[in-house]
Chain A
Amino acid sequence: EAQVTQNPRYLITVTGKKLTVTCSQNMNHEYMSWYRQDPGLGLRQIYYSMNVEVTDKGDVPEGYKVSRKEKRNFPLILESPSPNQTSLYFCASSFNLAGGPPGELFFGEGSRLTVL
């Protein structure tokens, strides 16, 4: 089954304790991205990756890091989480969209993070 898998789905942590949210897709997609969803703000892009070893900032990258060492995985790293990073996070993937009409973004089920 084609899917984007995120872990953990739920996490409560404390300020300053490094954490990683994993994202894996089994569709051989080149493009992957992280969004955060906050009430009244919709979804905002954090980082994206056009392919292995190619990553770039989205609209709200502060406080986050990513890596893309393998095509299927795109972890989101919070080196020193703060309460303003409490949010619902979504990973998404797609085939390479460069040069043509964009296709469908496939989303994971979300990871709800609470930073105390």
Chain B
Amino acid sequence: GNSVTQMEGPVTLSEEAFLTINCTYTATGYPSLFWYVQYPGEGLQLLLKATKADDKGSNKGFEATYRKETTSFHLEKGSVQVSDSAVYFCALSDLKSGGSNYKLTFGKGTLLTVNP
């Protein structure tokens, strides 16, 4: 079945450092890929998405490119802020033919802590 593997955390960075969180996936067909973010005490929010190969999703300074050849969707940000401290989840869609069984398959999450 489909699966998502993302780098183990926690990740601790200083403010203005460069961030990469690796995400690779296994899927049949052509899934859409997502990054969700969970701030402390809150539900998950969509951060960015890409629906086909070579698409780049971007939002709030974060970027991720859908790489079919390497089955990857790594999250990057050039300069993190303290407010970026959160848990980040990589996910893929699983929409079977006819739309009868849809779900998101999530990675285990990566805790990011940014220190001033």
Binding site for B on A (CB under 8 A): 4, 31, 33, 35, 40-45, 48, 50, 56, 58-59, 90, 92, 96-99, 101-102, 104-105, 107-110
Contact = CB atoms under 8 A, between A and B. Distances in A.
A101 B102 CA distance: 11
Contact of B104 (A41, A50, A96, A105): A105
A98 B43 contact: no
A90 B102 contact: no
A109 to B, nearest CB: 5
A101 B89 contact: no
Contacts of B41: 109
B51 A98 contact: no
Contacts, number: 64
B100 A90 contact: no
B44 A90 contact: yes
Contacts of A56: 101
A17 to B, nearest CB: 26
B43 A101 contact: no
- Size bin of chain B's contact surface: 20 to 34
Interface of B: 32, 36, 41-46, 49, 51, 89, 93, 95, 98-104, 106-109
A35 B103 CA distance: 10
24 contacts: A33-B103, A42-B106, A42-B107, A42-B108, A42-B109, A43-B44, A43-B104, A43-B106, A43-B109, A59-B103, A92-B44, A97-B95, A98-B95, A98-B102, A102-B32, A102-B104, A104-B46, A104-B49, A105-B36, A105-B46, A105-B104, A109-B42, A109-B43, A110-B42
A48 B106 contact: no
B106 A102 contact: no
Given A41-B108, A107-B44, A101 B51 contact: yes
A97 B31 CA distance: 13
Nearest to B99: A98
